Amino acid sequence: MKIDSTGKVAIFDETGVGNAPFTDPLGNLSRIRFHSDLLTPAVVSVTTYTVTLPSMVENAWRDATVTLGAHGRTGTPMIMGRVRNGSGASWIPLNGSVMLPMYALDGSTTYRLFGAYPSGPPYWQGGDGWRSITLGADATNIVLHEQAQALSKHAGADITHPALTLEIEVTVFDINLDAANPTVGTDPVAVHMSASLVKFQRGKWRSDRRYIRTPAPTPTHYMPLGKTVEVGGGPANKGDLLRSCCHAGPVKFKSAPGQVNDITFDASQQPVSV
């Protein structure tokens, strides 16, 4: 661990390279365990919103953006989200467009679930119903975009897709996507260490904030390393598909009413604690 008079702090392996990781962290990343020059997104708020996506009848189409609330930051912040439908359900990482299970009542007698046929990763047949949500933020608000189609018609029965109430948890970070982010804090003291609080580089890094860390025995979020939805490749005679993929699992998503849809995803996202 090395500290200089500017408040720069680094923890690194100096074997054979001396001070190089301290002066050039990006050029020596494999030797760095911590460096206050590096940008480490810090959590500034976590807010849970409740959203009800309305019921849909067959042949209906939705394309809407809902304002969840103000984020209170200057500029457009980096955010991460996760979604569940009810407190008993597991959180699903809200990375990219999340394909939601979609439910239908055929003439109020037969209950259908789209998105879990026949087993394994959920998929949505092009000719059936599907619903997806995408999380975003502008310079003022957190927003959620929904697009959906309810196109199914089976054996002449009228179909209604029930409303779906979701909890959306949004974590806001101190990263501004509209402008350069500060490389040094504004504290008068270069380094602060007390029994309860540590601050490096004039307060740029603070121990009273949370950062994105891995491995995570109990992950709160998943950082995507690639695709989270796959297009095509479904079973024969099922047409074109959208399939959720690449989530670590298993993930439970409660269907309505009272069912639990077990979804097992590929484990190719990085589990992290935030």
Say if strands 259-263 and 251-255 run parallel, antiparallel, or are unpaired: antiparallel
**Amino acid identity, residue 196?**
S
Report the nearest approach of another protein to the CB of residue 32 (Å): 5
Is 120 or 127 the residue whose CB approaches another protein more closely?
127
- To another protein, the closest distance from the beta carbon of 195 in angstroms equals 6
The CB-of-183 to another protein minimum distance in angstroms stands at 12
3-state secondary structure 130-175: EEEEEEEECCCEEEEEEEEEECCCCCCCCEEECCEEEEEEEEEEEE
Which residue lies nearer to another protein by CB, 214 or 259?
214
Task: Tell me how far, at minimum, the Cβ of 232 lies from another protein, in Å.
Answer: 4
Min CB(222)–another protein separation in Å: 9
Residue number with CB closer to another protein (53 or 99): 99
Of the candidates 122, 113, 118, the residue with the CA atom closest to the CA atom of residue 164 = 113
First to last CA, the chain: 24
The CB-of-257 to another protein minimum distance in angstroms stands at 26
Q: Which is nearer to another protein, 206 or 252 (CB)?
A: 206
Q: Write down the least CB distance from residue 184 to another protein, Å.
A: 16
> How far is Cα 79 from Cα 45, in angstroms, rounded to an integer?
10
Burial grade of 99 (CB within 10 A; 0-12, 13-18, 19 or more): buried
Cβ-based nearer residue to another protein, 62 or 260: 62
Q: Which of 206, 254 has the CB closer to another protein?
A: 206
Three-state secondary-structure class, residue 134: strand
C-beta closer to another protein: residue 236 or 258: 236
How far apart are alpha carbons 197 and 185 in whole angstroms? Answer: 15
CA distances from 175 to 78, 181, 182, 214 (A): 5, 7, 9, 19
Residues 24, 26, 27, 33: is their CA dihedral positive or negative? positive
Peptide bond into 250 cis (omega under 30): yes
